[in-house]
Amino acid sequence: MKQHARVKDILSIYRSGGMVAVARYLSDEDIIITEDTWEHKLKKLLDSNNWASMEAEIASLSYIFNLSDNDSRRSNNESPDQGSEDGGDLPD
């Protein structure tokens, strides 16, 4: 059964299997890659054998998602009155 390529899947595959696993995923005939998407950009980089740029794209997005995950976890765990004594979050 065909399925659309998803950013979440690519990032997960990259973390567990590296670039070779991502290349296999993007080359799978059962994966539908829609034009003008980030997934399509990766597929074009793969097809042009531009692995370094492809990995940089993936690593960059992975880093951004990790930051947003950490921010949401931090905001969920902090109470409004947490922080420094002057009420700010940064030291003087």
Q: What are phi and psi of 19, to 5 degrees?
A: -65, -35
Using the predicted structure, report yes or no on whether residue 61 has a pLDDT greater than 70.
yes
Alpha-carbon distances, residue 72 vs 30, 39, 66, 67 (angstroms) = 34, 25, 10, 9
Q: Tell me, what's the pLDDT at 91? A: 47
16-42 per-position pLDDT tens digit: 999 999 999 999 999 999 999 999 999
Q: What are phi and psi of 54, to 5 degrees?
A: -60, -45
Q: Which helix (H) or strand (E) holds 40?
A: helix 38-47
65-89 per-position pLDDT tens digit: 886 666 666 666 654 444 444 444 5
Query: Which residue's structure tokens are 């296999």?
Result: 24
